A and B are shown apart, each in its own frame.
Chain A
C-alpha cells in the first residue's frame, strides 16, 4: 500500500499542477479580484499539498490501507472485472448503431460468462432480462432506447 500511495501521491501532485495551471486562464467575476479560477486554484493547491503529504507519508510509518485484512495474491478475478468494463464500452460504442435489442443480450451473456454462469441459463436470463428491461424502460417509462438496425422492423 505504501508504494501505491507513493505513486498516487505523485499522480495527484501532477494533476494538481495541471489544475492550477489551467485555473490561471479562467476569467474574474466583473468588479471582483477573484473569479472562476478561484475554486480550481484552491482545489489544485490542496491536491498538491495532499499529494506531497501522501508521498512523504509513504516513506514513514504504516498508513491505513482501507482493507481490514490483506488479500492473498492471485485469489481475485480481475479478468471478470475487465470484461465488465469492456462490455460497458461495447454498449456505448454499439448500442446506437446496432440497437438495444441486439446489444443488450450480447452484453448480458458476456457478463454472465465472466461471472462463471453456465451457458444455457446465461442465454435464457440474457434474453429474459433484455425483454424485461425493454418493457420497463421503453414501453412503461418511455425512454427512447436505440433501435439501430432494427429500426425498419419497428
Chain B
C-alpha cells in the first residue's frame, strides 16, 4: 500500500505530468504522419529519455506509443495510408467510411474503442504481472532458458508469415548478440581487435537504425502521393459511439482479449493483433458480406485489439525481461539503462516504480480521449505537413541520438549498418522483430543455458525435470515440430 502511495507521488509531479503531456502530443503527431511508426516514435524518444529519471522516462515511452497507435488510424481513414502498421488491418474499411461521408464514425470508433481496448490491456497487466512475478520468483535458470526459447519460437512461428526467413532473422540477431566480451568464458568474440566492439553492439543505436533510419530510407524510395478523402470540417466525433458500444460489446471484448494475448506473445505486437482481430471479427460477424465496403464492426474489434496489445506486451517484459513486441524491446533497453532491470525482483525491490508504470498507463489511456479528439479535429492541418520536410530532420535526430548514448561516433556507424540492413530485410521478406528479440535475449539465453548446464552437471535431461521447465520445454519442442507433424498428418489423410 505504501508503495502505491509512493507511486502516486512519483507520477503526480509537475515534471512527470509535463513529460506525459508532451509525449502524448509527440506520439499523436508521429503516429498521424504516414511513414513514421509507433516503434520509430519510441526509438527516437530514447536519446531524450536517457537524460530523465526512470519514471518519467518510462512514462514518455508508454504515453507516446499508446497515442501513436491510435493516431495511426487518422491518415488511414483520410489518406488510405496507415500512420502505423497497427492500423493497416482496417485502413481500407476506414477509408471507405470516409469516402461514403462518415469519417467521424471511422475515427470516433477508432478512438473510443482504442481507449476501451487499451484500458482492458492495462487492467490485465495490473492483475497478471504481479501474480506472474510471484510465480516467477521461484523460477530457476531452467525455466528462464525455456521461456527465452519459447519467446523465440513464438516470434518465428506465430508472428511471422515465413518461418524459414523468421529463423534466419532470429539467428542473425543471436549472432549480433555474440559480439563482445559478455559470454560465459569472458572471451572476446567477433571484436576484430576493436575496443568499441568489446562492449558488444549497443542496443539503442541498433534500434534507432532498424526502426527509424530504415523508415527514412523506405520513404526516400517511395513515389506514391496520398490523396485527402475529406474536404469539409469534421462533425461530432463521439456521436453514435454509445450506439456502437451497445451493438458490439462482444466484438469489443473479443478484440481486447485477443489483443492482450497476442501482445503478450514475444515478437507479436499491435499490428499482428489488429490483423488477427479483423479476421476473427469478419469470421464471426452476422454481416460478413459488409466487410470491405465501409463497415465499422471490424474497426471496433481490431481498434480495441491493437491498443490492448500494448498493455499485453508489457507483461512478459516486466516480469521476465522478455519483450512482447519491438516497442517493449526498446523499453527493456531503457529499463536497463535506468537500473530498473526487468524481472520478478523488480516487483519486490521497486514496487513503487512498477505501480507508477501502471498509473502512467491509465493516465495515457484517459488522456487519449480529449487529445485524440483534438488530433482528429486538427488532422487536416497536420496531414498537410509534408513528410518530406520531416524526414531529413528525423535523420539528423537519429544521428545525434545514436551518438548521445555513448558520446561515440561508433553508435552512428551501428545505426547506419542496422538501418541499411533492416531496409533490405524488409524488401526481401525477412521480419525484423525476431532479430531484435535475438539481440535482446541472446546473452540471457547463453547465461541461463550455461548455469543450467553446470547445475545439471552436463545432463541435458535435467532441463525437463522441473515441472514448469519441463512443460515449457515440451511446448517449445511441440511448436518446433508442429510443421513436420502437420505434414505427416496431411500425408496420412491423403
Which residues on A are within 8 Å of B, measured CB to CB?
A: 1, 4-5, 8, 12, 19, 22, 26-36, 38-40, 43, 46-47, 50-51, 53-54, 57, 63-67, 75-78, 80-81, 83-85, 87-89, 91-92, 95-96, 100, 104, 107-108, 111-112, 114-117, 121, 125-126, 129-130, 132-133, 137, 141-145
Interface residues on B, range: 35 or more
Given contacts A91-B412, A141-B51, contact A36 B220 (CB under 8 A): no
B41 → A minimal CB distance (Å): 16
Other CB < 8 Å A-B pairs besides A34-B453, A50-B168, A129-B396, 14 of them? A40-B190, A47-B172, A51-B168, A54-B165, A66-B162, A76-B223, A80-B220, A84-B220, A88-B412, A107-B395, A111-B391, A129-B392, A129-B393, A142-B51
CB interface residues, B 380-427, toward A, < 8 Å: 388-389, 391-393, 395-397, 399-400, 403-404, 407, 409, 412-413, 415-416, 419-420, 423, 426-427
Task: Decide: B450 and A143 in contact? CB cutoff 8 A.
Answer: no
Q: Which residues of A contact B134 (CB under 8 A)?
A: none
Given contacts A32-B453, A50-B164, contact A19 B175 (CB under 8 A): yes
**Could you say which of A46, A104, A111, A115 contacts B167, with CB atoms under 8 Å apart?**
A46
**Could you say which of B187, B219, B454 contacts A36, with CB atoms under 8 Å apart?**
B187
Given contacts A1-B429, A84-B216, A115-B392, contact A64 B187 (CB under 8 A): no
Bound form: Cα–Cα A94–B278 in Å: 49
Bound form: Cα–Cα A80–B219 in Å: 9
Does B174 make an interface contact (CB < 8 A)? yes
Interface of B is mostly: helix
Q: Which residues of A contact B391 (CB under 8 A)?
A: 111, 115
Q: Return 20 A-B CB contacts under 8 Å, by A number.
A: A22-B190, A36-B189, A39-B183, A40-B175, A54-B165, A54-B168, A77-B220, A77-B221, A77-B222, A84-B220, A85-B416, A87-B395, A88-B419, A104-B396, A108-B392, A115-B391, A115-B392, A116-B388, A129-B396, A144-B407
Task: State the 7 A-B residue pairs at the shortest beta-carbon distance, nearest first.
Answer: A66-B429, A111-B392, A80-B220, A36-B185, A64-B162, A36-B187, A143-B404
Task: Decide: B429 and A125 in contact? CB cutoff 8 A.
Answer: no
Bound form: Cα–Cα A132–B393 in Å: 10
Bound form: Cα–Cα A45–B403 in Å: 35
Task: Decide: B187 and A27 in contact? CB cutoff 8 A.
Answer: yes
Q: Which residues of A contact B174 (CB under 8 A)?
A: 39, 43
Residue of A nearest to B220 (CB): A80
Does B217 make an interface contact (CB < 8 A)? yes
Task: Decide: A36 and B184 in contact? CB cutoff 8 A.
Answer: yes
Q: Which residues of B contact A4 (CB under 8 A)?
A: 428
B416 → A minimal CB distance (Å): 5
Q: Which residues of B contact A144 (CB under 8 A)?
A: 407
**Could you say which of A30, A64, A108 contacts B396, with CB atoms under 8 Å apart?**
A108
Task: Decide: A66 and B430 in contact? CB cutoff 8 A.
Answer: yes
Task: Decide: A39 and B442 in contact? CB cutoff 8 A.
Answer: yes
**Could you say which of A1, A96, A141 contacts B48, with CB atoms under 8 Å apart?**
A141
Does B247 make an interface contact (CB < 8 A)? no
Residue of B nearest to A76 (CB): B221
**Could you say which of A30, A57, A112, A137 contacts B400, with CB atoms under 8 Å apart?**
A137
Count of A-B contacts judged by CB separation below 8 Å? 179
B481 → A minimal CB distance (Å): 15
Bound form: Cα–Cα A47–B396 in Å: 35
Bound form: Cα–Cα A144–B409 in Å: 11
Bound form: Cα–Cα A108–B216 in Å: 13
**Could you say which of B184, B400, B428 contacts A133, with CB atoms under 8 Å apart?**
B400
Given contacts A65-B429, A84-B216, A84-B395, contact A143 B184 (CB under 8 A): no
Given contacts A1-B429, A115-B220, A144-B407, contact A133 B397 (CB under 8 A): yes
CB interface residues, B 141-160, toward A, < 8 Å: none
B387 → A minimal CB distance (Å): 9
A107 → B minimal CB distance (Å): 7
Bound form: Cα–Cα A130–B391 in Å: 14
Task: Decide: B221 and A78 in contact? CB cutoff 8 A.
Answer: yes
A1 → B minimal CB distance (Å): 7
Bound form: Cα–Cα A81–B419 in Å: 11
Question: Which one of A46, A116, A137 has the highest number of Cβ atoms from chain B below 10 Å of its Cβ?
Answer: A137
Bound form: Cα–Cα A1–B51 in Å: 44
Given contacts A50-B168, A64-B429, contact A29 B392 (CB under 8 A): no
Question: Which one of A29, A33, A108 has the highest number of Cβ atoms from chain B below 10 Å of its Cβ?
Answer: A29
Bound form: Cα–Cα A150–B171 in Å: 45
Q: Which residues of B contact A88 (CB under 8 A)?
A: 213, 395, 399, 412, 415-416, 419
Does B458 make an interface contact (CB < 8 A)? yes
Bound form: Cα–Cα A19–B221 in Å: 33
A48 → B minimal CB distance (Å): 10
Residue of B nearest to A132 (CB): B393
Does B161 make an interface contact (CB < 8 A)? yes
Question: Which one of B220, B223, B397, B404 has the highest number of Cβ atoms from chain A below 10 Å of its Cβ?
Answer: B220
Bound form: Cα–Cα A76–B222 in Å: 6
A139 → B minimal CB distance (Å): 12
B214 → A minimal CB distance (Å): 10
Residue of B nearest to A30 (CB): B185
Residue of B nearest to A130 (CB): B396
**Could you say which of B47, B416, B454 contacts A92, with CB atoms under 8 Å apart?**
B416
Bound form: Cα–Cα A130–B186 in Å: 42
Q: Which residues of B contact A66 (CB under 8 A)?
A: 162, 165, 426-430
Q: Which residues of B contact A143 (CB under 8 A)?
A: 400, 403-404, 407
Task: Decide: A40 and B220 in contact? CB cutoff 8 A.
Answer: no
Q: Which residues of B contact A81 (CB under 8 A)?
A: 217, 220-221, 423
Q: Which residues of A contact B190 (CB under 8 A)?
A: 22, 40
